[in-house]
A and B are shown apart, each in its own frame.
Chain A
Amino acid sequence: MTGAALLDRLAPAGAVDAAGPGALAARAWLATHGLPDPKDEAWRYTPVDQIVARLHEVVGAAVLDGGRDDDVDLATVDALAGDHGGPRLVFVDGLYRPRLSGPGLVAAGVWCGNLADLPDRRAAQGAALPPPDELARFDGFEALNRAAGPDAAVVLVDAGVVAGAPVHVVHLATGHPHAAVGHPRTVVKVAEAAEVTVVETFAGIAPADAPARSRSADDAAPTGPVTNAATTIVIGPGARVTHHRVQAEAAGAVHVGHTRVVQAAGSHLRSVSVMAGAAVARHALDVGLHGPGARADLDGLYVPSGHQRHDTVVTVDHAASDCTSTQRFRGVIDDEARGSFGGHVIVRAGTTGTDADQSNRNLVLTRSAQADTRPWLEILADDVRCTHGATVGRLDDDALFYLRSRGIPHDEARAMLVRAFVDEIVATIEPASLRAVVSALTPGGAS
């Protein structure tokens, strides 16, 4: 199947036309630029050829007539995604499912729901395309998401409003052949001096016969559905957003995700990205600090085991003066898995007072596990404080022996040390219900 034919199957011209000018522009962008290929620098550590091959495979195999949710019930959603006490919007194979969603009680001045249900008076707030200067880093998967995804989770918070309980957006992939590609989309817009916490969970329903963990070489290639997610977060002046993103797709799945954040002056973002599931997964987090005094604190964990591939690519663009960014990403790589991190910090010419800090530490648990770490500082200004540090290490043999010499069995001692490593991030996660979910997804068990 050619690229054009793939595009016609995934984003038929007629349907895109109906989805509005943004979708149309995205389709045009995709038709010109195509999907990324292995020569693409930003995709260096992601097996993008496997992802594209899997796309062709699933698109060629069945009629893509959208998801069905007949066998998804509330208990399944609770088990896969958890409940964090606030409104929960549930999308199955990219389509909004009111039956499984609980809009809950939200503060006055907060609207959350499906894009199609957006009241007229808020329509202008719902537009999801990034500002034109962001399009330079647009890529084919993000364009495909915009061209192909009919539904979107929308969270809008009016000026000065503190939203309270977290808004939980759940994207489930069933893996049914007719819905083997999903394009979940989330748009969050927070006006001046407002505050909100958004939790995004990407989970999959594994077929009953699928192995929980693949160990043999034959299992390395993805066999499950392809999720191509895009999230846009626009943070107004002085506003505060906490964004947790949990990738817990089913074994064998493919997950490609983009989170694009645009921050105004004095705004604050705290972001935690957790990568636990799928066979091949990539998350690109792109933060633009466009107003003076904006701050972004970005944390993340990736914990591939078996033959999993997890790639996290962070870009922070200091486009205004006096902005602060911190990156704290931790990887635990087991078995024959590979975990990669790329952290790109751009400090634009003409800015002053930038403070940027980046730290990436990796714990490699076996001889065949592999970690890649690539800091990339692009500093075009003078008055800058930039630090970065990256480590790849093994479990501390002295600590392991110390614990075992006290009677703690080997596996338990190993789990304690791995837990201590990931707890640097996990212990900071609020609410506690989400911390428990992340704790269960990461190695070392619940502490």
Chain B
Amino acid sequence: MLRIDGLTASIEGNRILDGLDLQIGAGEVHAIMGPNGAGKSTLSNVLAGREGYEVSGSVTLDGADLLALAPEERAAAGVFLAFQYPVEIPGVGNMYFLRTAVNAVRRARGRDEFDAMGFLAEAKEHMARLDIDPAFLSRSVNDGFSGGEKKRNEVLQMTMLEPRLAILDETDSGLDIDALRLVADGIERLRGPERAMLVITHYPRLLELVRPDRVHVLQDGRIARSGDHTLAHELEAEGYGRAPADAAAAVAG
């Protein structure tokens, strides 16, 4: 469903992604781990369409060329990025924002838009599952939210936008164990045959709650190792130390 071939990305002349290849099939959950500076956040930004990178290579979702699309067009095509640092937007109401986003995506996908009442009912149902206070809707987007509230707001948006490809960029960082469990439940509920998921994380903790089909190590801008879910535990025990040798072998090969 998602196919990435030879993806490179540079910012101000620094190459951060350097020939990355990755394929994720429908219904699969893949995890990407890797040391700081390996390019994990750059990968998620480039997939979501953030400006400021020089990008080459190819990325297709259901055969459509993602790199040719604006961020909002990618969202309509089914890309969702849960931000590592969700942006605070004072003055824009959370409910107004959510409804505008959900309806823009529904409109683009040829579906009926929600009216105000229908949207509220839908939102409240999802919020109850994520243990989000209803007062949350009347606040400004992420403004003054705690770290956990921001991450739950990301999962709420992800749930309501019904993505084809969900990318979670360190959604587990800064969460206590209860919040982590809520977020993991939210992710598990979205897991299904119609959807691919890419979970970017530093820690295997989330991967115990959301067991990935494949685990990849991103290092020096490309996938250095891949394996099943046990790789996450190996990495925890051994660190990423082995990977540079692999990368060197790959270059030599």
Interface of A toward B, CB cutoff 8 Å: 396-399, 401-410, 412-413, 416-417, 419-421, 423-424, 447
Contact = CB atoms under 8 A, between A and B. Distances in A.
A407 B74 CA distance: 8
Interface string B158-195: 00010000000000000000000000000000000000
Given A412-B100, A416-B97, A416-B100, A404 B71 contact: yes
Contacts of A409: 72, 104
Contact of B105 (A399, A401, A407, A424): A407
B89 A420 contact: yes
A419 B102 CA distance: 20
Q: Is the interface of A mostly helix, strand, loop or mixed?
A: helix
Task: Report the 8 A-B pairs with minimum CB-CB distance, sorted nearest first.
Answer: A420-B91, A407-B75, A406-B101, A407-B105, A404-B71, A402-B87, A407-B104, A404-B72
Interface stretch (B44-52, B111-119, B122-130): B44-52
Contacts of A405: 48-50, 71-72, 74-75, 79-81, 83
B90 interface: yes
B231 interface: no
Contacts of B101: 403, 406-408
A424 B87 CA distance: 19
A404 B100 CA distance: 11
Interface in B216-235: none
B160 to A, nearest CB: 10
B70 A406 contact: no
Contacts of A402: 83, 86-87, 89, 141
A421 B49 contact: no
28 contacts: A398-B87, A399-B87, A401-B48, A401-B50, A401-B51, A402-B83, A402-B89, A403-B89, A403-B92, A403-B101, A404-B49, A404-B70, A404-B71, A404-B72, A404-B75, A405-B48, A405-B74, A406-B75, A406-B97, A406-B105, A407-B75, A407-B105, A407-B161, A408-B97, A408-B101, A410-B70, A416-B97, A420-B92
A399 B50 CA distance: 11
Given A401-B50, A412-B104, A416-B92, A406 B161 contact: yes
Contacts of B104: 406-409, 412
B211 to A, nearest CB: 27
A399, A409, A423 interface centre (most CB from chain B within 10 Å):
A409
B86 to A, nearest CB: 7
Contacts of A417: 89, 92
A396 B92 CA distance: 13
A408 B72 contact: yes
Interface of B: 48-51, 70-72, 74-76, 79-81, 83, 86-87, 89-92, 96-97, 100-102, 104-105, 108, 140-141, 157, 161
Nearest to A418: B91
Contacts of B50: 401, 405
Contacts of B90: 420
A398 B48 CA distance: 13
Contacts of A419: 91-92
A8 to B, nearest CB: 52
Contacts of A413: 72
Contacts of B48: 401, 405
B91 A424 contact: yes
Given A398-B87, A404-B71, A406-B105, 20 more contacts: A397-B51, A401-B50, A401-B51, A401-B87, A404-B70, A404-B72, A405-B71, A405-B75, A405-B80, A406-B101, A406-B161, A407-B76, A407-B102, A407-B105, A416-B100, A417-B89, A417-B92, A419-B92, A421-B91, A423-B91
A407 B101 CA distance: 6
A408 B103 CA distance: 9
B64 to A, nearest CB: 15
Contacts of B89: 396, 399, 402-403, 417, 420
Nearest to B107: A407
A396, A397, A408 interface centre (most CB from chain B within 10 Å):
A408
Nearest to B92: A420
Contacts of B105: 406-407
A74 B90 CA distance: 40
Contacts of B140: 420
A404 B86 CA distance: 13
A401 B51 CA distance: 8
B54 to A, nearest CB: 17
Contacts of A396: 87, 89
A286 B91 CA distance: 30
Nearest to A416: B92
A447 B91 CA distance: 11
A402 to B, nearest CB: 4
Nearest to A411: B72
Contacts of B83: 402, 405
A398 B105 CA distance: 20
A410 B74 CA distance: 13
Contact of A410 (B72, B91, B97): B72
Contacts of A399: 87, 89
B197 to A, nearest CB: 16
Contacts of A420: 89-92, 140
A398 B51 CA distance: 10
A341 to B, nearest CB: 20
A421 B89 CA distance: 10
A408 B100 contact: yes
Nearest to B160: A406
A403, A407, A421 interface centre (most CB from chain B within 10 Å):
A407
Contacts of A416: 92, 97, 100
Contacts of B70: 404, 410
Contacts of A421: 91
Contacts of A408: 72, 97, 100-101, 104
Contacts of B72: 404-405, 407-410, 413
Nearest to B158: A406
B70, B92, B96, B157 interface centre (most CB from chain A within 10 Å):
B92
Contacts of A397: 51
Contact of B97 (A398, A401, A403): A403
Nearest to B45: A401
A399 B140 CA distance: 12
